[in-house]
């Protein structure tokens, strides 16, 4: 009998993802250059807008933890708008249903992606948002599982997981019977460290150029 499992419950560790899918970390050092090479420059107005977005988020965060919906409105949506991902050439799907059949295990994994951005039929970016106290490492298995449901069209797939304070990008590439992935560094926006929010927007822009 086929067992139906919620992705958020069944895929909570990287070991579970690797056990259910033929997926592993990429060994090539240049597998994921998109998050740090040839990034577009930001204009003065864009930098000023980013400073405003960050200051507003920090002020709200300093009052207490922020739920996922608030993180989306204060941080994620403004960044996607600034990066051009709300332009009409893209299709935005929120709470998009996912279903993955694993015949060997007799399982069907089901879930909903927070945000899926497409250009025509090509997946551009999958976004998984969590509340401001949620660890990104806990959300990564869920994000990768969603990305594994993408069409096998030979195109690299990109994902982003964030709790508003930290951001991490994922690249996934299927090659024959093996799928490889790699992660960016964790990019932080909270003081006292220098904000890496400009780099987040630069990466978003580079993925849709």
Residue listed under structure tokens 């994922």: 170
Report the length, in residues, of the chain.
Answer: 209
Say how far apart CA 72 and CA 186 lie, in whole Å: 18
**pLDDT the model gives residue 105:** 73
Question: Domain range for residue 169?
Answer: 3-207
pLDDT lower than 70: segments of the chain? 104
pTM (two decimals): 0.93
pLDDT tens digits, one per residue of 125-140: 999 988 888 889 888 9
Q: What are phi and psi of 86, to 5 degrees?
A: -100, 5
Residue 155: the pLDDT is 87
Cα 12 to Cα 8, 108, 138, 197: the distances in Å are 7, 16, 7, 27
64: domain CATH number?
3.90.1570.30
Q: How many domains does the chain have?
A: 1
Predicted pLDDT at 198: 96
pLDDT at 13: 92
CA distance 80 to 196: 16
Beta partners for residue 160, in sequence order = 127, 169
What local confidence, expressed as pLDDT, does residue 106 receive? 80
């Amino acid at each position: 009998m086929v067992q139906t499992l919620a992705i958020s419950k069944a895929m909570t560790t990287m070991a579970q993802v690797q056990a259910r899918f033929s997926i592993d970390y990429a060994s090539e050092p240049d597998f994921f250059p998109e998050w740090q090479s040839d990034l577009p420059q930001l204009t003065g107005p864009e930098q000023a807008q980013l400073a405003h977005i960050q200051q507003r988020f920090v002020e709200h965060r300093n009052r207490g933890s922020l739920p996922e919906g608030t993180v989306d409105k204060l941080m994620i949506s403004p960044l996607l708008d600034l990066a051009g991902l709300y332009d009409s050439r893209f299709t935005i799907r929120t709470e998009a249903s996912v279903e993955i059949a694993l015949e060997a295990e007799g399982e069907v994994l089901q879930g909903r992606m927070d945000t899926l951005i497409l250009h025509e039929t090509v997946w551009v970016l999958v976004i998984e948002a969590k509340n401001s106290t949620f660890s990104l490492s806990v959300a990564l298995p869920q994000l990768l599982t969603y990305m594994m449901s993408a069409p096998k069209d030979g195109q690299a797939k990109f994902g982003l997981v964030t709790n508003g304070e930290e951001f991490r990008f994922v690249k996934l590439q299927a090659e024959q019977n093996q799928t490889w992935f790699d992660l960016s560094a964790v990019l932080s926006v909270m003081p006292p460290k220098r904000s890496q929010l400009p780099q987040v927007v630069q990466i978003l822009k580079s993925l849709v150029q």
